[in-house]
Amino acid sequence: MGHFKQEQPIFSTRAHVFQIDPNTKKNWVPTSKHAVTVSYFYDSTRNVYRIISLDGSKAIINSTITPNMTFTKTSQKFGQWADSRANTVYGLGFSSEHHLSKFAEKFQEFKEAARLAKEKSQEKMELTSTPSQESAGGDLQSPLTPESINGTDDERTPDVTQNSEPRAEPTQNALSFSHSSAISKHWEAELATLKGNNAKLTAALLESTANVKQWKQQLAAYQEEAERLHKRVTELECVSSQANAVHTHKTELNQTIQELEETLKVKEEEIERLKQEIDNARELQEQRDSLTQKLQEVEIRNKDLEGQLSDLEQRLEKSQNEQEAFRSNLKTLLEILDGKIFELTELRDNLAKLLECS
């Protein structure tokens, strides 16, 4: 990928990158786990335009734009283009329709620039080509020779299906319980994250504390050494017979003292930075305690809602039992009524017979 450094990015955006499945030529295969930077590059040495995208150190798109390429919008946020030389189709999923339109405009712009560059290159080769050169048997090399990979003309988008199932409308208490459960899970996730950060900060704090102690010891040693050197300078200055040697030694000692003072200043700045980190760690600890208290309040609220829901379920069950008993009594009453109606019918028939006989 060394030649990438010779090229200059002229437009960049972020998108999810896909390639067509080489086996089925129908389905899309994601080549990036998340949105990555996709850039247009201009190679001034070869006078070509490229689309390049890196996922870490891996080039997941390296496509030279040619005049016969076409960028197609297949949806409001998805576009694709075929690259005939690498036998593949690249697809890009954008976060908005605006980003897709901007990328498509740049594609058309650089495609036209590539076409003009190719025509100028061909004209230049025709002008510089002479019969003497042709008789010499020299082979002309196109300045547009790409070191990149290109793709096919298959353009398809993956199918997306959505399934929805009707759900019964919950009661007001059930909705409150569901909402509180979601809040509880959210705070639990936040608390877990803060616990992890707190553990890291605690380890860093312990390490920083140990470093501070070590630097304090070094500082004390440097101060003692500086004091000893000052005393030595004073002693050497008192010796007049060795004035020149003392002067040279004094200069060296002063330089050493200056270096020690600079080191001391650096250590003091580092101590101040570590103190600030300790204060930040304390603030995070306070935030964690606050979140823990909120989580406890949410758990208490959840327990209350669970009790209310259990009470409602018991009352509903009791009501259902009473309805079943009422239905059973009504059925029995209907059976008795049917019997009485049958008896009255027989009595009427008997009375009618008696009247006929009399």
pLDDT tens track for 308-326: 999 999 999 999 999 999 9
Q: Which pLDDT does position 209 carry in this prediction?
A: 74
Torsion of CA 332, 336, 337, 338, to 10 degrees: 100
H/E element, 309: helix 243-357
> Of 44, 58, 35, whose CA–CA distance to 9 is shortest?
44
Higher pLDDT, 4 or 268: 268
Return the minimum-mean-pLDDT range out of 122-126, 171-175, 221-225.
171-175
pLDDT at 346 over 70: yes
296's tokens: 């406890």
Beta strands in 35-186 (DSSP E): 36-43, 48-55, 58-64, 71-73, 78-83, 88-93
Rounded mean pLDDT of 153-171? 37
Q: Which pLDDT does position 221 carry in this prediction?
A: 79
pLDDT at 151 over 60: no
Global pTM exceeds 0.75 = no
The span from the CA of 255 to the CA of 247, in Å, is 12
pLDDT at 144 over 80: no
pLDDT in tens, 90-113: 999 999 999 999 999 999 999 999
H/E element, 65: none
What residues pair up with 13 in beta bridges, in sequence order? 38
Identify the burial level of 107 via C-beta atoms within 10 angstroms of its C-beta, where 0-12 means exposed, 13-18 middle and 19 or more buried: buried
294's tokens: 């909120």
The span from the CA of 325 to the CA of 328, in Å, is 5
pLDDT at 154 over 70: no
Higher pLDDT, 205 or 335: 335
Q: Under a CB-based contact definition with an 8 Å cutoff, are residues 208 and 278 in contact?
A: yes
pLDDT at 85 over 90: no
pLDDT at 55 over 70: yes
**Average pLDDT over all residues of the chain:** 79
**The dihedral of CA 322, 328, 329, 331: what is its sign?**
positive
Q: Under a CB-based contact definition with an 8 Å cutoff, are residues 301 and 180 in contact?
A: yes
pLDDT at 251 over 80: yes
DSSP class of residue 16 equals E
Higher pLDDT, 256 or 7: 256
The span from the CA of 342 to the CA of 335, in Å, is 11
pLDDT at 167 over 50: no
Rounded mean pLDDT of 116-139? 62
Q: Which pLDDT does position 165 carry in this prediction?
A: 35
- Supply angle C-alpha 153, 158, 162, rounded to 5: 160
